[in-house]
């Protein structure tokens, strides 16, 4: 059974595995819908993605979907190590424009739950890093939004200089001073 730890953003959690070990290795559950429902996680997950990033220092994100296509995510590192960042963009949230950063790695086995209206991104801390993502909604290009990794309003202090960033992620506009968030469904 995973152990839930609430993060400093409303509705955001880390899930730590409690492996059962024997001579063969270990077995652990890192997610259960029953326990997720008890903690208010959006269900069910309808899409699963897997990313591979070659180079340490690469930044992917900050991404989210809005409106009726808003999605929650459960993200886990299965190879390598990342600095994972959540940025609260929910209008009226007590966590609005705050972010949290946590380390996800194959070694620590931690997963992170990102609620609706919270942007997500990460920086790889090792070469050849892989993450798996569980999404509560389907990918909808028209609902996709993003925040640049270096947006002064977000003020994210990445642990390393960026080595690679996609053109798409470089092109997100800076948040206006009057940006007051996205309405959460």
Q: Are 146 and 61 in contact (CB under 8 A)?
A: yes
CATH 3.20.20.70 fits 3-170, yes or no: no
Q: pTM higher than 0.85 for the full model?
A: yes
Residue 63 CA from chain centroid, whole number:
9
Note the pLDDT tens digit of each residue in 21-31.
999 998 888 88
Residue 182 annotated among the catalytic residues of the structure:
no
Catalytic-role residue among 30, 113, 120, 133:
133
**Tokens coding 31:** 């997610």
Kindly report the backbone phi and psi dihedral angles of residue 129, in degrees, each rounded to the nearest multiple of 5, phi listed first.
-95, 140
Is 105 strand, coil or helix?
strand
Dihedral, 11, 8, 95, 137 alpha carbons, nearest 10:
-30
Note the pLDDT tens digit of each residue in 17-72.
888 899 999 888 888 888 888 888 877 999 999 999 999 999 999 999 999 999 99
Q: Which residue has the higher pLDDT, 41 or 167?
A: 167
Residue 30 annotated among the catalytic residues of the structure:
no
Per-domain boundaries in the chain: 3-170
According to DSSP, the residues that pair with 83 across neighbouring strands are 103, 123
Identify which of 118, 2, 134 has the alpha carbon closest to the alpha carbon of residue 62: 118
Note the pLDDT tens digit of each residue in 101-121.
999 999 999 999 999 999 999
Catalytic-role residue among 5, 30, 50, 63:
63
């Amino acid at each position: 059974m995973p152990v839930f730890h609430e993060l400093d953003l409303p509705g955001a959690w880390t899930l730590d595995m409690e492996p059962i070990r024997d001579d063969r290795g270990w077995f652990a559950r890192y997610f259960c819908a029953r326990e997720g429902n008890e903690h208010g996680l959006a269900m069910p997950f309808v899409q699963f993605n897997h990313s591979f990033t070659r180079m340490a220092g690469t930044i992917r994100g900050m991404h989210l979907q809005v409106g009726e296509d808003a999605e929650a995510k459960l993200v886990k590192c299965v190879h390598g190590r990342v600095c994972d960042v959540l940025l609260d963009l929910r209008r009226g949230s007590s966590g609005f424009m705050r972010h949290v950063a946590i380390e996800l790695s194959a070694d620590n086995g931690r997963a992170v739950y990102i609620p609706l209206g919270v942007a997500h991104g990460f920086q790889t801390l090792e070469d050849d890093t892989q993450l798996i993502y569980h999404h509560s909604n389907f990918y909808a290009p028209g609902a996709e939004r993003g925040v640049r990794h270096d947006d002064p309003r977000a003020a994210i202090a990445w642990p390393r200089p960026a080595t690679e960033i996609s053109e798409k992620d470089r092109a997100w506009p800076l948040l206006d001073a009057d940006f007051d968030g996205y309405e959460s469904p």
